[in-house]
Amino acid sequence: MVDLSTNTAGIWSPNPFWLASAPPANSGLQVQRAFEAGWGGAVWKTLGVAIQNVSSRFGGHTIHGVKGAGFSNIELITDRSLEVNLKEIAETKRLFPRNPIIVSLMCESEDEWRDLIKRSIDAGADGLELNFGCPHGMCERGMGSAVGQEPKLNERITSWAVRHSTVPVLVKLTPNVSDIVPHGLAAKRGGAHGVSLINTIKSIISVDIDRFVPHPRVGALSTNGGYCGAAVKPIALHMVAALAREKSFGLPISGIGGVTNWRDAVEVLLLGASTVQVCTEVMLRGYGVVDDMLDGLQEYMRAHNFESVAQIVGRAVPAFSEWGDLDLNYETVARIDATKCIGCQLCVAACHDGAHQCIHPVEGTRVPTIDEDECVGCNLCEIVCPVEGCIEMTAVDNGRVETSWNKHCQEGASIRPKKGVH
């Protein structure tokens, strides 16, 4: 039996999958349908001051024919009234008492925070998420990422929220900073019980090349939006892991950004998050995407003998180290399984023009050959090969003892180029 339940900063959830604060968590009926579909929890679309949205407001990045591989928006926080939202939160909590509702909030003065927090908790919020991440519209008014980018403001507003809250407070961090760690530490100093990350990345998604206006177009103008979706997962993974391995941090993490399936979700858990939030994939494909996440996670846990999600959380963090600690003498080479090769020659082109010119066509066959003495083990051919398992990167014993750049600097350990470097 595997137990999918999780606990993030004192917020219990039947499984680690939460809707992120965004259009899929905009109303009671939506969140109720999501819970019926299997989502563990939901972070309600951000409540705050009254706003008006623009039209249009989304943009998609097509990568090699895959529409929506990246996604952007210039939407603000909720445009529905506070009263209606609070009524629907209370109703949803009454219907689904086991599923946590985390209410996302964004406002300005301490009085506004106190009032919003009290009303959210009275409506049944199991936790609060402070939106310090919105990179458009709200930051120009001194909210959103304007707070998330400034550690002193982050700490001060977090401390207000913690003072006025009787439920756990998560601080949602912006990725629009060069190093996430000081911002996580600021939230910790403010008393946050946990953090969630990432919010969206400041970006221009594309340009209408006939009208000479970036997307999404609002009449004759556009503006920078927030980038998210599958394409941002690597950035999210790095930021989650950077906080998870920071010894002075130690707060629970709710991971967000580019999660499209169970495998992505497991990666986020392995790098230190105890819950995983999803927005874009639900926007593009609906609440049903959680089926794959639930089934896949259970199968993965069975295969690895994990009994609880807590046993997965952070398992890959110790292996995330500095470049200077990597073994300079560890060596791999590419090997082709001729029985799987379809002879497409993609690896030949990639290695010749983008790597070390060591995969060669062979007369009389479409299966190329690899000159292992010249191969530097860069992975490029494996990445371009369209057949799963056809090119394997294989570790080889080159007889050299382990050393690293840091050892070289500290102890004078010798380093010398390996084969394939001319």
Q: Where along the sequence are the contacts to ligand SF4 (CB under 6 A)? A: 334, 336, 341-347, 350-351, 355-356, 358-359, 368, 370, 375-381, 384-385, 387, 390-391
Of 161 and 347, nearer to ligand SF4 (C-beta) is 347
Positive or negative: CA dihedral 44, 46, 48, 53: negative
CA distance 163 to 132: 17
CA distance 4 to 25: 22
Among 13, 45, 105, 168, binds ligand FMN (CB under 6 A): 45
Partner whose binding site includes residue 194, from ligand SF4, ligand FMN, none (CB under 5 to 8 Å by kind): none
Minimal distance, residue 78 CB to ligand FMN, in Å: 7
One symbol per residue from 121 to 160: x for binding ligand FMN (CB under 6 A), - otherwise; what is it? ----------x-x---------------------------
Task: Give whole-number Cα distances, 384 to 16, 333, 358, in Å.
Answer: 33, 15, 15
Query: Is 134 an annotated catalytic residue?
Result: yes
Total chain residues near ligand FMN (CB under 6 A): 27
Of 143 and 347, nearer to ligand SF4 (C-beta) is 347
Residue type present at position 175 = P
Of 133 and 314, nearer to ligand FMN (C-beta) is 133
Q: Which of the following is catalytic: 107, 134, 375, 381?
A: 134
Minimal distance, residue 263 CB to ligand FMN, in Å: 15
Using rule CB under 6 A, residue 26 touches ligand FMN: no
Partner whose binding site includes residue 345, from ligand SF4, ligand FMN, none (CB under 5 to 8 Å by kind): ligand SF4
Minimal distance, residue 191 CB to ligand SF4, in Å: 49
Partner whose binding site includes residue 199, from ligand SF4, ligand FMN, none (CB under 5 to 8 Å by kind): ligand FMN
Partner whose binding site includes residue 378, from ligand SF4, ligand FMN, none (CB under 5 to 8 Å by kind): ligand SF4
* Length of the chain counted residue by residue: 422
Vertex 328, ends 317 and 269: CA angle to 5°? 15
Of 67 and 304, nearer to ligand FMN (C-beta) is 67
Of 109 and 365, nearer to ligand SF4 (C-beta) is 365
Contact between 72 and 59 (Cβ < 8 Å): yes
Minimal distance, residue 91 CB to ligand FMN, in Å: 20
Partner whose binding site includes residue 21, from ligand FMN, ligand SF4, none (CB under 5 to 8 Å by kind): ligand FMN
Of 22 and 269, nearer to ligand FMN (C-beta) is 22
Two tokens, residue 75? 């939407």
Binding residues for ligand FMN, per CB under 6 A?
Answer: 20-23, 45-46, 71, 73, 75, 77, 104, 131, 133, 172, 199-200, 228-229, 232, 256-259, 278-281
| Catalytic sites, residue numbers | 134
